[in-house]
Amino acid sequence: MPGTERWLVTSSRHTAYSGMLPGWLAGHYRASDLLIDLGPLAEKAGAKLVVADVVGLDAARQTLSLSSGEEIGFDLLSLATGGETDISSLAALGDSLLSVRPVGAFMERWSNFLDRNALASTISIAVAGGGAAGVELALGAEVAIRRLFRNARISLVAPEDGFLSGHAPQVRKRALAELARRGIAVHFAQAVGAEGGLLLSNGDFLPIDCVIAATGSRPPRWLAGSGLACNEAGLVAVGADLRSISHGSIFAAGDIIDRVDRSLERSGVHAVKAGPVLAANLRAALSGARRSQYQPRSRTLYLLATGDKRAIVSWGRFVAVGHWAWRIKDWIDRYFVSRYTNPARNGQ
């Protein structure tokens, strides 16, 4: 829009597409296949790219504080920084703990872990977290470590009510069958990090070389002092138009929000699909036009990668598993990334 200046503030210049992370772990993708360079995208949008962490927001003063020490004032803010992985109960694991977020840092630390243990013959890995990400990461890691180590043990630890909650019972059944078939031990328990392993709420102790934390996301800490209206969990409270209910100049989407008008699970599908609505409403806020609403479709297509080039597909009540489902997922994911990395596809 004429007469506007735009900034894109982001922790790193490259953003990794989480949907392809389990496939990368299993060795089906190179790191470059899932990385999106934000430089050309910012340039195309006429935005100045600022590579820094937001460490503070003052909603009333309309300023952002950055890790570089800079302060940026704004008339309009679009918040889409996602959440942080909640690792509070696992912190005692120290260097053996690999948090899945930020995804780029996780990829680096996993590669370092494998390099450090290249000469070991026995390895024991656990994934903490029973959401879709935890299940996919356990299945992807299983492929990787069985290829590299003679004796590989892998476990998935999650409270039973947190295992693929929100997914159809058939999806849970298929996922459990797949985990069992691949020799992945599933422990339905709460896990607490301890030196050398995980202490489970059923009293068991799992000796572990590395724990991948996919324990769900919590709101970033810097949000707490922002003055923005948040829900009990600390997520930004927005309406269907993705505008903060307390500060009209602030919009938000993705894992950082809580919708006041309906419940909406935190998933990449909603983060991505809300994008065009968010963009339209930022323009509407400047022009005074009517704002649009983000209304998700009643059914969402989910494709859970099983690490061995198959996937579990669910669409409403339809649930199936197969190589064909992986081929669909692979095509969708590669196409998604190429829209942001291939100038011919994003209309440059």
Ligand X SMILES: Cc1cc2nc3c(=O)[nH]c(=O)nc-3n(C[C@H](O)[C@H](O)[C@H](O)COP(=O)(O)OP(=O)(O)OC[C@H]3O[C@@H](n4cnc5c(N)ncnc54)[C@H](O)[C@@H]3O)c2cc1C
Task: Catalog residues that contact ligand X under the rule CB under 6 A.
Answer: 9-12, 15, 18-19, 21-22, 53-54, 80-82, 100, 102, 133, 136-137, 214, 220, 254-256, 266-269, 271
Q: Give the nearest distance from C-beta 337 to ligand X in angstroms.
A: 13
**CB closer to ligand X out of 100 and 198:** 100
Q: Give the nearest distance from C-beta 35 to ligand X in angstroms.
A: 11
**CB closer to ligand X out of 199 and 241:** 241
Sequence-distant (≥ 6) Cβ neighbours of residue 56 within 8 angstroms: 64, 65, 222, 225, 226
Nearest to 23, CA basis, from 13, 15, 31: 31
Q: Which residue has the tokens 């990090």?
A: 193
Nearest to 54, CA basis, from 18, 97, 9, 23: 9
Element (H, E) at 122: strand 122-128
Q: Give the nearest distance from C-beta 52 to ligand X in angstroms.
A: 7
**CB closer to ligand X out of 137 and 208:** 137
- Contact of 79 with 252, CB cutoff 8 Å: yes
Q: What angle do CA 338, 12, 51 make, to 5 degrees?
A: 120
Q: Give the nearest distance from C-beta 128 to ligand X in angstroms.
A: 12
Nearest to 80, CA basis, from 335, 272, 228, 222: 272
Q: Give the nearest distance from C-beta 25 to ligand X in angstroms.
A: 9
Q: Which residue of this chain has its Cβ atom nearest to ligand X in the complex?
A: 254
**CB closer to ligand X out of 23 and 197:** 23
**CB closer to ligand X out of 50 and 194:** 50
- Contact of 261 with 242, CB cutoff 8 Å: no
Cα separation of 25 and 135, whole Å?
Answer: 13
**CB closer to ligand X out of 199 and 238:** 238
Q: Which residue has the tokens 């008008």?
A: 261
Q: Give the nearest distance from C-beta 343 to ligand X in angstroms.
A: 21
